[in-house]
Amino acid sequence: MHFFISEKLFFFGLQAIINMPEDREITIYDIAKHLNISAATVSRGLKNNPMISKNTRKKIVEAAKELGYQSNTFASSLRSRQTHTLGVLVPRLNSHFMSSVLAGMEKAANRNGYNLIIAQSLEDVEKEKANAATMFNKRVDGLLISLAYNTQDINHLEPFFNRKIPVVFFDRVYAHSNSTSIVIDNYGAAYKVTTHLIEQGCRRIMHLGGNVLRNVYKDRLEGYRQALKDHGLPYSDKLYLTSTLSEDAGTEAARYILELPQKERPNGVFSANDTAAIYCMIGLKTAGLRIPEDVAFAGFNNDPISKVIEPNLTTVDYSGNNIGETAITNLANHLQGVNNLYMTNNIILRSDLIVRASSLKNKS
């Protein structure tokens, strides 16, 4: 079916619209009257429907621009019961890992026709609750969340589950039957890191860990402990520090190590992130200790700074971009009826141990 519009009709229709009150919103009916075609044709033309000829589609788009027509996405979302908007709630925006996750999410969201609303909890559960409520009230089609440092339960997400709004956890996750989690094998990666330090001759290995409320830090601690056990090495509470894994926490860990009696000091350190590892290294180097000769180091996350610090930091690499793309793609496929999000409660992505100079005590 094709429609043709004469230049004369176009001119007279435009004059009629120009004379309308300035504060009145332009609708597809105004465009239809202006072009002397049906509103249905205008609607199809604005959606680039191939049933409408290219020439007519072009005139519809030109008229819409000239008249100041704006698509009423709110009304459209009411009809479809979808806003084509996804909520993303992260602990912090100012980390390399989270920036790469969001980059992957943006790419996949654009590919699937979704917009993102992004908020940060700043590692505080109360702010996380407030942001989750805001996203629920904005009627997001789905929620992607990495939990705050001190979140103990997910009762604040019950409104999403009750309304069957899909929830995808990523990185810092919480088990729930009506959700999916995108993770890496944190236990296995920590086991591999600790084993590497043992193979380099470390026999007193300290672990700088995070809050075990979070799966990532709990699993990394368990992987570390199991590697010690499997290699016949004792676990010591003196060699396990829990903190926020910040720059200050790394500096404080160095101070703690220096205050230990010489024979009780670690000769290897495995940190649950790169930031704490690097600032602990700096503190020990400032005090005159050699790395890795006196203390070998390994971190986690493969932040860019791990390749700047001297010696370069051994770490675990896993793609934030891949996590972000995987999370959005699975959620979008679920919303579009391509697959059932809840068929797999855990999607485990790859990680790799990157060995650098900071841990190589055994140069051979």
Q: What was the pLDDT predicted at 202?
A: 97
Domain 186-318+353-359 classification at class level = alpha beta
Q: Which residues of the chain have pLDDT under 50?
A: 1-18, 20-22, 74, 76-80, 364
Is residue 147 within 8 A of residue 172, CB to CB? The reply is yes
Report the distance separating Cα 55 and Cα 222, nearest Å: 66
**CATH no., domain 83-185+320-351:** 3.40.50.2300
Nearest to residue 131, comparing CAs of 98, 166, 88? Answer: 88
Q: What was the pLDDT predicted at 72?
A: 58
Domain ranges of the chain: 7-71, 83-185+320-351, 186-318+353-359
What are the backbone angles phi and psi of residue 82, rounded to the nearest 5°?
-130, 140
Report the predicted TM-score, pTM, of the whole model to 2 decimal places.
0.76
What does the pLDDT look like over 62-111, one tens digit per residue?
A: 988 888 777 655 454 444 467 899 999 999 998 899 999 999 999 999 99
Positive or negative: CA dihedral 124, 130, 136, 139: negative
Which token pair is 167? 């929830």
Q: How many CA atoms lie within 13 A of 147 on its CB side?
A: 26
- Give the three-class secondary structure for 46: helix
Q: What was the pLDDT predicted at 205?
A: 98
Helices (H), the chain: 7-18, 28-35, 39-46, 54-67, 73-80, 96-112, 125-137, 158-162, 186-199, 215-230, 247-259, 274-286, 320-335
Q: DSSP character for 140?
A: -
Report the distance separating Cα 140 and Cα 160, nearest Å: 10
Report the distance separating Cα 288 and Cα 183, nearest Å: 39
Q: What was the pLDDT predicted at 64?
A: 87
Q: What was the pLDDT predicted at 345?
A: 82
Domain 7-71 classification at class level = mainly alpha
Is residue 202 within 8 A of residue 269, CB to CB? The reply is no
Q: Output the CA angle 212-216-219, nearest 5 degrees.
A: 75
Burial class (CB in 10 A: 0-12, 13-18, 19+), 118: middle
What does the pLDDT look like over 10-37, one tens digit per residue?
A: 444 444 444 544 456 788 888 999 899 9
- The CA distances from residue 241 to 73, 115, 289, in Å, are 51, 41, 20
Q: What was the pLDDT predicted at 8?
A: 46
- Give the three-class secondary structure for 356: coil
- Give the three-class secondary structure for 282: helix
Q: What was the pLDDT predicted at 230?
A: 98
Same fold, 7-71 and 83-185+320-351: no
| Dihedral in degrees, nearest 10, Cα atoms 154, 159, 165, 166 | 10
